[in-house]
Structure 1
């Protein structure tokens, strides 16, 4: 097996873990809006059954370079928290898409994107 590993370089890559905050209750949205007055808030809406959503979130994780000091990063599982997802759309006036990323400052969405366009957002410009 050692020779096989050397030939095909099957080293295990360390998995990057982001500082996700679970978004699973509607009252959190008021907190996010209020907190966005002093610190950028980001919501990632993810469908756990969608291959495109999985690909986009993997790319997002790989490119992510911020800390908890820079912004708060919320993860919303659309399938388990559909009511929260619906309320995100109402509260922040953004039509639902999946996957979707919303950047919130001063209580409003300053940019949002879905699908592959998520990874084109320059989060640093919103800090």
Structure 2
């Protein structure tokens, strides 16, 4: 799994457009939270087994980039949570899960 870092609000427009060609996930991670660290580690371990090679993963350090996290909530019409994984397809959020309820099988099912 190779993360693409989300560090600018301007990237959200790019992600929306990119998601029209290939599904994208955004993982919002709090670097100060042990639950978030556990969710990130679990996500990285399960990624290959979930067979999500067609999905491009973005990583957001929300402590360093809180305004981007707020914009994600507004643009994709989801309540902010951390950790949180959003599946973006065709410019819209098709799945979002938080904490240890992040489900890669659900991501796979909805990314097709």
Which ranges of structure 2 fall in alignment gaps of 5 or more residues? Answer: none
Contact 2:86 2:95 in 1 (8 A): yes
**RMSD of aligned C-alpha atoms?**
1.1
Shift of 1:61: 0.7
Give CA-to-partner distance per residue, 1:31-57, whole Å, 9 cap, x none.
000111110010000000001001111
- 4+ long deviations beyond 3 Å: none
CA, structure 1 residues 112+121, in 2 after alignment: closer, same or farther (shift >3 Å)? farther
Which ranges of structure 1 fall in alignment gaps of 5 or more residues? Answer: 1-17
Alpha-carbon distance in structure 2 between the residues aligned to 1:29 and 1:40:
14
Shift of 1:122: 2.6
Contact 1:42 1:71 in 2 (8 A): yes
Alpha-carbon distance in structure 1 between the residues aligned to 2:17 and 2:104:
26
Alpha-carbon distance in structure 2 between the residues aligned to 1:121 and 1:80:
29
Aligned residues: 108
Structure with higher Rg: it is 1
Contact 1:41 1:103 in 2 (8 A): yes
